[in-house]
Structure 1
Amino acid sequence: MAKLAAAPAALETYCGFPAARTRQVDRRLLEEGLLEPGAPFVSVEINEADFTLLLLAVASGAPIPRVGDVTVLLAGAVPNGIDVAVMPDNIRPAKMTAFDVLHGQIWSAARHSDAIVSDLEVVETWPEVVFHLPEGAARFHPAGSLANHWQGSKQRRSTRIPGSAIAHTAKNLFGGK
């Protein structure tokens, strides 16, 4: 477990997100109950799952009042917007969300120096998370959305974080302690 207070500095050092913005985002996630608050006079501790939510929230670029809602939407995004819950049981694959993929990569990077972490792209103008690997890109959208259609009337604005930066941040916060 890492201290929440260490996350803004690590995200600023390795990923380039301003620490002041990260502190505002983590405070909002605490207020909305997405991160577990600590006891009085005790620092808030986070695990890899909490850090995954924080990373999605900071990269989303959402305004502070909406950051919790946007984070929940991004974390629950599924591959190509396909809702597997409506499929028949005998052909239904296991449900996988953007949170599951990113959490697995962060958990592996914190424990294994040779873990593969994909580049992460979070779209700000509509809910979309893209994982970039040499083999191609995996796009995650909210269930039911049309993944192959332009999702808005504006230009697509996104933040792309190199996998190496995510791996260094995870190793710094959770590895070897």
Structure 2
Amino acid sequence: MATLNNALDAIERYIGFPRSRSSGVSRRLQESGILPSGAPGVAPELDQRDVCLLLATLMSAPKLHEAVDHARAYAAMTPGGAVLSPDAPDSIPRSALEYLELKSDIALGGDPDAIDDVRGHRFEFVHGWRELSAHTPEGTVTRFVLPGALASHQQAPHRIAGVVKGEAFANLMKDLF
């Protein structure tokens, strides 16, 4: 478990996202109950899922009042915008958040080949609409969008995204966990 302050410091160190901005976003997520709040005199502790959610929300660059909606969207976005039935295969990630959590587990695992694979990834968190694009070292792109949306179609005239290299993502997770 990592404290919220440690997570915000590590995100600034490895990803370059300024602490001045991340503090306000994390406070909004705490107020809505998405991130743990801690207790009087006890720092809030985040698990891997919480750190992945915080990173995704920060990198999607929402306006402060939209941070909660962005965070909830990452728990709902599916690969290709597929509407997944409850009996869909377990090999399909159920959400963008679950996918990021799986990649963080791999980054923390002991298999050097799998860790190298995560280090070769590139994660793009789109600003203008809800999308996570995961680029693998082999050139495969998996796009997570809200169910029913067309992942193959750009949803606005311009596409701007916050990019996190797999190397930075793996280093962030190793530092915190």
Q: What TM-score, normalized by structure 2, do the two folds share? A: 0.89
Q: Does 1:110 align with 2:108?
A: yes
Q: Using the TM superposition, give the Cα deviation of residue 113 of structure 1 relative to its aligned residue in structure 2, in angstroms.
A: 7.1
Q: Per-residue CA shift, 1:87-134, capped at 9, x if unaligned?
A: xx5xx3335211111001112323437323222110001111011102
Q: Measure, in 2, the Cα distance between the counterparts of 1:44 and 1:111.
A: 25
Aligned to 1:140: 144
* Number of aligned positions between the proteins: 169
Q: Per-residue CA shift, 1:27-54, capped at 9, x if unaligned?
A: 1110111011111111111110110110
Say if 2:124 and 2:133, in contact at 8 Å, map to a contact too: yes
Q: Show the 5 A alignment for 1:118-157.
A: 118-135=121-138, 136-152=140-156, 154-157=157-160
Q: Measure, in 1, the Cα distance between the counterparts of 2:48 and 2:109.
A: 11
State which of 166, 173, 177 in structure 1 corresponds to 2:176: 173
Call closer, same or farther: CA 1:113–1:7 in 2, change over 3 Å.
Answer: farther
Alignment partner of 1:5: what SS?
helix
Alignment partner of 1:104: what SS?
helix
Alignment partner of 1:84: what SS?
coil
Q: Measure, in 1, the Cα distance between the counterparts of 2:111 and 2:64.
A: 34
Q: Give the superposed CA RMSD.
A: 1.6
| Identical columns (%) | 35
Unaligned runs of 5+ in 2: none
Q: Per-residue CA shift, 1:57-84, capped at 9, x if unaligned?
A: 1101000111111121123211110112
Q: What TM-score, normalized by structure 1, do the two folds share? A: 0.89
